[in-house]
Amino acid sequence: MSIDTTNIPEQIIALKRRIHEQCPNITEHFRELETILAEEIDSIESASKRGESVIPEIAFSDIIANQVDDTTIKSVKRRGAVVVRNVFTKEQVSLWYEELERYLETNGYFEQDDPELDHYFSDLKTDRTQICAVYWSKPQVEARQSPNLAQTRSFLNRLWNYQENGTQYFDPDRECTYVDRVRMRQPGDTSLGLSPHIDGGSIERWLGDNYQQVYRSLFSSNWKSYNPFNGAFRPEVEGIDSPAVCRAFRTWQGWTALTKQGPGDGTLQLIPTTLSIDYVMLRPFQEDVPEDMLCGAVEGRAQAITDEWHSLLLRGLVSIPKVNPGDTVWWHPDVVHAVEHEHQGSNVSSVLYIGSAPKCDRNVRYLERQTQPFLEGRSAPDFAPEDYEIAYKNRASLEDLTELGRRQMGFNKAS
């Protein structure tokens, strides 16, 4: 699961030669893809101009009642993103938000030294973040272990091909809690903006053996058969160790809204099409790209989506629709996303980062790394080791975990 990082330019040159031999028509494939993608981007742009959102929405109650229709499911797969409404009640979320604010204030979070910035995003346009490096407040723990979220994740995980021919790639109904932080973005803030990117590494997508398997059909004559929801090889894709690179396997990145937020409120932006990754993967093999370059890919960094190489895609960047407290937002791990540069609204835009990391060997291994930090109040293992919460009052402990929570955190291995 690792990549030799000693001679990356040579590896890229060798890869490109091999791919050109294996797929001599790659330029024609790319042109064909460009035509299809341009139509997709046009439709996103025109909907956006009409003030409409192309990002599908599902009511949590429809998930529970098992009545999400096929058209919506198709749309979720096409867009690689979805808003699930009313997963939590406004009353519940309002209590969580108050408690989270109290937790940060009474423990002096905002009086601490500036949290050290990680360098993962250092090529992206960002400054001091307004993401709070707390992992173990009771609201976070309660939200993560809530049965409502478990049902939502289970539904979303089942949109993937999670098993084939007797092999199960992951268990869609069992979560391995991937602990992350919270966003508390103040009105007027201009420091949290994040340029468009894809997480899950960059050069790894071309140079890693498992990643090559994930994307192999894109480099064949049958490139249209590529299925972004095929779980084969995904749980074991390579990652170059770097601060803030996710070492777990996530089927969906996501967050739960604690406050109302919409376009202009410093919120999430997406390029809502799963065709983006086809474009990003094939782009470096075109004639205008230097032979040792993978456009926007730099070792140990997120995959940047840039005007220089991906201008067609960038026309499709749209803000997510307005969400209310208790709504959740989800996007496929290959979907391009960004954060609005400026928060022009009047309320704090706050979210709990909670994605979906279903049970597989990789995520079970990650849980083992996360147990001790939980018990001691240290930072979660994928993040900078600031360990602010060690001495925090009212931090969640083992007693705050429900039976489901214990299982998701890896404490009840047998069950």
| Shortest distance (Å) from residue 369 CB to Fe ion | 21
Coil, strand or helix at 414:
coil
Binding mask 140-179 for Fe ion (x = CB under 5 A): ----------------------------------------
Least distance in angstroms from the C-beta of 75 to Fe ion? 22
* Shortest reach from residue 250's CB to Fe ion, in Å: 11
Q: Tell me the C-alpha to C-alpha distance, in Å, between residue 401 and each of 131, 287, 408.
A: 24, 55, 9
CA gap 85, 2 in Å, rounded: 39
- List the one residue out of 334, 149, 353, 319 whose CA is nearest residue 251: 334
148/356 with CB nearer Fe ion = 356
Cβ atoms of residues 152 and 60 within 8 Å: yes
Choice between 199 and 238, CB closer to Fe ion: 199
Nearer CB in complex with Fe ion: 199/334: 199
Residue with the CB atom nearest Fe ion in the bound state: 199
Site string for Fe ion, 1-40 (x = CB under 5 A): ----------------------------------------
Q: How far is the CB of 199 from Fe ion (least distance, A)?
A: 4
Provide the minimum distance between the beta carbon of 23 and Fe ion in the complex, in angstroms, as a whole number. Answer: 30
Radius of gyration of the chain (CA): 21
Letters for 48-87 (x = contact with Fe ion by CB under 5 A, - = none) are: ----------------------------------------
CA–CA dist 55, 34 (Å, integer): 21
Which residues, numbered 112-141, are part of the site for Fe ion (CB under 5 A)? none
| Beta carbon nearer to Fe ion, 148 or 261 | 261
* H-state helical runs in 298-360: 307-314
User: Which residues 6+ apart lie within 8 Å of 76 measured at CB?
Assistant: 56, 58, 82, 159
In whole angstroms, the minimum distance from the beta carbon of 276 to Fe ion comes to 14
Q: How far, in whole angstroms, is CA 405 from its chain's centroid?
A: 22
Least Cβ distance, residue 244 to Fe ion (angstroms): 9
Contact set for Fe ion, span 267-326 (CB under 5 A): none
**E-strand spans in 238-339?**
253-257, 268-270, 303-304, 318-319, 328-331, 337-339
Instruction: Confirm if 192 and 115 have CB atoms less than 8 A apart.
Output: no
**Could you tell me the smallest distance in angstroms from the CB atom of residue 201 to Fe ion?**
12
Q: Which is nearer to Fe ion, 199 or 327 (CB)?
A: 199
Buried b (16+ CB within 10 A) or exposed e, 83-114: bbbbbbeeebbeebbebbbebbeebebeeeee
Per-residue tokens: 381: 């293992």
* Residue 57, H or E segment: strand 57-59
Query: Toward Fe ion, which CB reaches closer, 148 or 276?
Result: 276
Nearer to Fe ion, 183 or 234 (CB): 183
- Count of residues in contact with Fe ion, rule CB under 5 A: 1
Q: State the Cα–Cα distance between residues 77 and 56, nearest whole angstrom.
A: 10
CA–CA separation, 366 and 246 (whole Å): 10
> CB of residue 328 vs Fe ion: minimum separation in angstroms?
16
Contact set for Fe ion, span 190-229 (CB under 5 A)? 199
Q: Is 265 an interacting residue with respect to Fe ion (CB under 5 A)? A: no
**Complex with Fe ion: residue 199 or 236, whichever CB lies closer:** 199
Kindly tell me which of 199 and 204 has the beta carbon lying closer to Fe ion: 199
Q: Residues interacting with Fe ion, by CB under 5 A?
A: 199
